[in-house]
């Protein structure tokens, strides 16, 4: 089953990820990984860092002549900004060096203060470098590979921005979203809403503030029967929610109707079940968002996540000097104004990783061919139920 581990700091030499558990003989296109890394970097509201970094992955092991070997895969993504931080972020030094003052003004809403207390650091940079969302670059690379495997089973993804601040986009169908986000500055399928979102971001930048929002991930083609109700940690909805909640600044996740379900009667929430000889069991609605009892029910997965505004503000909030305990203003690191479009790409990657694990649990195989054979046998069974 797919497992991965990331390493690296925001301004360190590079990000590294090790992936194990993928089946052998899966064809990997490095340009597809790089394309998704580029998607994470774009979006109206991104900061100066994205003008420096041009993320590209280097495959170090586990793939030969474009095909997975079944052995661990290691990937490296260089940080171009490392050139400006070599002394400050040096892993090892021969003698003490003089560099900028330690970071001592924790930012409200960031891991700075809690992390420094937890790990006993005097310099908040020891926290913020790893707590930074820069780490999600490595996760997007893993997600790109997970999606490559899932495409072999006709499982496809799309993610898009549904809200920035108070501006909401209209709902759109899967194919419509796929088509429109390609030409959107905010990965938003609603052009009119996008124009209002851009105005809001421009105002936030002018005010030295930041903005959050909501993104949605949709997945089509997933078979019925992934996940389980038998133990709390096997429920697929819980696993997906935890995976997406692990993204920095995500404060809430809902599936299907989500929180709206609490305002309605049961008759307005649950998806009625129908049967046709050619189709088998099916639903006319998908209020459950593709999951019932912790198990995929064959309908599209629909998941939304709420992202808070990022905590680094050009107009800083009140804070306390970590060393002197005197009042001060929060520290400022070069940052973005709005990263909801980027978060949607990361969210899509995290959903793909978790669904890839679920597919491997259900259709285990050391090679892609074996996994496909197990899948086909199961789908034949489903047709006969």
Which CATH number characterizes residue 67's domain? 3.60.150.10
Separation between Cα atoms, residue 62 and residue 97, nearest integer Å: 39
The single residue listed with the structure tokens 């649950």 is: 270
Query: CA 216, 221, 224: angle at the middle one, nearest 5?
Result: 105
Taking Cα atoms as reference points, which of 188, 187, 148, 177 lies closest to residue 40?
187
Q: State how far Cα 219 lies from the chain centre.
A: 14
> Which DSSP string corresponds to 138-150?
HHHHHHHHHHHHH
Kindly provide the b/e burial profile for residues 307-332, where b requires at least 16 CB atoms within 10 angstroms of the residue's own CB. Answer: bebbbbbbebeebeebeeeeebebbe
Separation between Cα atoms, residue 223 and residue 220, nearest integer Å: 9
Taking Cα atoms as reference points, which of 385, 321, 360, 264 lies closest to residue 116?
321
297: containing domain: 3-384
Separation between Cα atoms, residue 239 and residue 241, nearest integer Å: 5
> Which DSSP string corresponds to 262-308?
GGS-GGGTSPPEEEETTTEEEES--TTTTEETTEE-SSPEEEEEEEP
Here the contacts of 282-290 (C-beta below 8 Å, separation 24 or greater) are: 286/256, 287/256, 287/257, 287/261, 288/255, 288/256, 288/257, 289/255, 289/256, 289/257, 289/258, 290/219, 290/222, 290/255, 290/256
Overall size of the chain counted in residues: 385
User: What's the number of domains the chain is made of?
Assistant: 1
pLDDT digits (tens), the chain, 385 positions: 899 999 999 999 999 999 999 999 999 999 999 999 999 998 887 665 555 668 999 999 999 999 999 999 999 999 998 988 988 898 988 766 666 688 999 999 999 999 999 999 999 999 999 999 999 999 999 999 999 999 999 999 999 999 999 999 999 999 999 999 999 999 999 999 999 999 999 999 999 999 999 999 999 999 999 999 999 999 999 999 999 999 999 999 999 999 999 999 999 999 999 999 888 899 999 999 999 999 999 999 999 999 999 998 999 999 999 999 999 999 887 778 999 999 999 999 999 999 999 999 999 999 999 999 999 999 999 998 8
Largest Cα separation within the chain, whole Å, is: 76
Separation between Cα atoms, residue 28 and residue 68, nearest integer Å: 7
């Amino acid at each position: 089953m797919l497992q991965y581990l990331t390493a690296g700091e925001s301004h360190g030499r590079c990000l590294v990820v090790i992936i194990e558990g993928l089946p052998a003989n899966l064809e990997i296109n490095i340009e597809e990984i790089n394309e998704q890394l580029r998607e994470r970097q774009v979006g109206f509201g991104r900061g100066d860092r994205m003008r420096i970094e041009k993320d590209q992955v280097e495959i170090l092991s586990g793939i030969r002549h474009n095909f997975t070997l079944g052995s661990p895969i290691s990937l490296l993504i260089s940080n171009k900004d490392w050139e400006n931080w070599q002394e400050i972020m040096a892993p090892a030094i021969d003698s003490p060096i003089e560099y900028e003052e330690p970071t001592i003004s924790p930012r409200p809403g960031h891991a700075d203060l809690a992390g420094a207390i937890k790990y006993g650091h005097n310099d908040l940079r020891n926290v913020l470098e790893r707590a930074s969302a820069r780490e999600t670059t490595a996760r997007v690379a893993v997600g790109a590979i997970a999606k490559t495997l899932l495409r072999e089973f006709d499982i496809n993804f799309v993610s898009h921005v549904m809200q920035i601040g108070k501006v909401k986009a209209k709902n759109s169908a899967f194919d419509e979203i796929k088509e429109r986000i390609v030409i959107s500055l905010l990965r938003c399928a609603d052009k009119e809403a996008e124009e209002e979102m851009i105005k809001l971001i421009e105002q936030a930048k002018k005010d030295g503030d930041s903005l959050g929002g909501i993104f949605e991930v949709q997945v089509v083609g997933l078979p019925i029967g992934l996940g389980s109700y038998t133990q709390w940690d096997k429920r697929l909805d819980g696993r997906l929610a935890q995976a997406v909640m692990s993204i920095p600044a995500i404060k809430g996740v809902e599936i299907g109707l989500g929180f709206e379900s609490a305002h309605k009667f049961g008759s307005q929430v649950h998806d009625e079940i129908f049967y046709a000889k050619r189709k088998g069991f099916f639903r006319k609605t998908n209020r459950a968002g593709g999951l019932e009892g912790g198990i995929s029910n064959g309908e599209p997965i629909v998941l939304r996540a709420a992202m808070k505004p990022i905590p680094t503000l050009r107009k800083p909030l009140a804070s306390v000097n970590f060393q002197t305990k005197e009042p001060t203003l929060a520290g400022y690191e070069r940052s973005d104004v709005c990263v909801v479009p980027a978060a949607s790409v990361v969210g899509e990657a995290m959903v793909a990783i978790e669904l890839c694990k679920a597919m491997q649990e259900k259709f285990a195989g050391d090679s892609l061919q074996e996994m496909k054979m197990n899948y086909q046998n199961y789908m034949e069974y489903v047709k006969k139920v």
